[in-house]
Amino acid sequence: MIFFLKSNGGNVYKLTNNTWPITPPYYQGRFTNGPNWFDRLNASSKSNYAYGGATTDNNFVKGYTKLNLVLVPGIRQQIASYFNDTLNTTINFNRTVYILWAGGNDFIANSSITVSSLTNSFMNSVRDLLKFGAKNILIFNQAPIQVYPYFSRQNLSATYTALTLQINNALQASLNSTRNNYTNVSIQTFDLNALVTKVVANQSYPFANNVSKCWDNVNLTTVALLCSDPTTYVFIDSIHMTTPVHQLIADAVTPLLTYTYTYTYNGCSKMNLSLNMLVSFILIHIFFKFF
């Protein structure tokens, strides 16, 4: 699995010489209080290019971390790094899954960008992967940013709700068009928006607090602990979720990574094998932004 994302499993922590996020209370350089959903995915081979604060593309909107002091690679830059790292590597594209998640940080960094420009910036990364030869791509849609403490405190719920809907509609339209042009490629969408919406609405999820943040990054050296039990909260801070929510994401993503392998034995036989049974053969790369 190859991950190109916005939050990460420790890359920002390494980039900042183990100073951000502040650990503890953050867990081993992750932007949460325990393992994140990337950690929870059951695969023997995972490559994580994700950086906290990443935007879709630094040439579109620059992304920063550590309270906007440290520039981080955008999704497109993460993919370029991956291309460079694999120049002399033979890749089995049929058994490699690329996972992308980005967009929210672009609006945090520049609220004046348009939906169409953001969508095009994101799709540039998808097109880069397709030109590279990717056969399996999983894309997270935009979470309901209006429910995150960072956005909800601005009392613009209706505006952000409409914005998120526009982003996801534009993204889906672009992906549908791309699928039509690449019929031999699996391009799936994970509905993160629906999952987070259900979690925040407390639909079968036992979180005591689905509105407030549990921790507050006061400055570069101080995290204020505003709650005693993060596991009862949806949000660990203004823009990140707690590890129980990450577990829910991992549980929801895993079925989308099911790999179907068909073979013939004595004339006829068909077998469907899950990702967990093929972990030694499937490589998943994730390119994230993680707020």
Kindly report the pTM of this predicted structure: 0.88
Count Cβ atoms below 10 Å from residue 161 Cβ, excluding itself.
15
The rounded mean pLDDT for the chain is 87
What are 43-72's pLDDT values in tens digits?
A: 768 889 999 999 999 999 999 999 999 999
What are 68-98's pLDDT values in tens digits?
A: 999 999 999 999 999 999 988 888 898 899 9
Mean per-residue pLDDT for 266-282?
40
Q: Please write down the HEC assignment for all residues of 260-276.
A: CCCCCCCCCCCCCECHH
pLDDT higher than threshold 80 for residue 183:
yes
Q: Which residues contact 40 (CB under 8 A, 6 or more apart)?
A: 246, 247, 250, 251
CATH 3.40.50.1110 fits 2-289, yes or no: yes
Cα–Cα distance for residue pair 92/100, rounded to 1 Å:
19
What are 229-267's pLDDT values in tens digits?
A: 999 999 999 999 999 999 999 999 998 886 554 444 444
- Hey, where are the domains in the chain? 2-289
- Assess whether the previous peptide bond of 255 is cis (omega < 30° from 0): no
Helices (H) and strands (E) in the chain, counts: 9, 12
Cα–Cα distance for residue pair 76/213, rounded to 1 Å:
30
The full length of the chain comes to: 291
Q: What pLDDT is stored for residue 257 in this prediction?
A: 83
Q: What pLDDT is stored for residue 21 in this prediction?
A: 96
